[in-house]
Structure formats: structure tokens, C-alpha cells
Amino acid sequence: MEKKYSDSIAPIYFLRYMIEVKREELTKLFNVDKELQKSTIIQLSQELDQLINQYLNYMRSLQKENDDS
């Protein structure tokens, strides 16, 4: 089960990395109204981070349930 758990989490960390890369690219492109665009990106990024953290917590709880069984 450990390998399956690890395999399911690795793509999430890669996704988080790719989101950060895209966030930097978008920030560079938004030169016209940078403050508005930056706040929008930050808000969306925070929401996505919350969803990823919820997913990771869920996966950890599943792992704990399996370990307790």
C-alpha cells in the first residue's frame, strides 16, 4: 500500500510545481494592470493550494486507516 500511496501523492507535488511555474510566467505577462492581475493570481493560487492540501489530508487519512487495519 505504501507504493500506491506514494504514487498518488507524487503527481500532486508535480502539479503544484507546474502551477508555480505558470504563475511566474503569467505575472511576467501582466504588465498593464499588474496589481489587479497579481491579486487575482494570488487568490486563485491560494484556492488551488487549499484544494491540494485537502486532497493530501484525505490521502493521509486513508493511509492511516489502512495502517490501523
Question: What is the count of structural domains for the chain?
Answer: 1
C-alpha cell at 13: 507535488
pLDDT of residue 6: 55
The domain of 20 spans 2-68
- From first to last of its 69 residues, what are the pLDDT tens digits of the chain? 444 555 666 777 777 787 788 777 777 767 666 666 777 778 878 888 888 888 888 888 888 888 887
C-alpha cell at 16: 503544484
C-alpha cell at 67: 495502517
Task: Say which residues have a Cβ less than 8 Å from residue 36's Cβ, sequence separation at least 6.
Answer: none
pLDDT of residue 53: 85
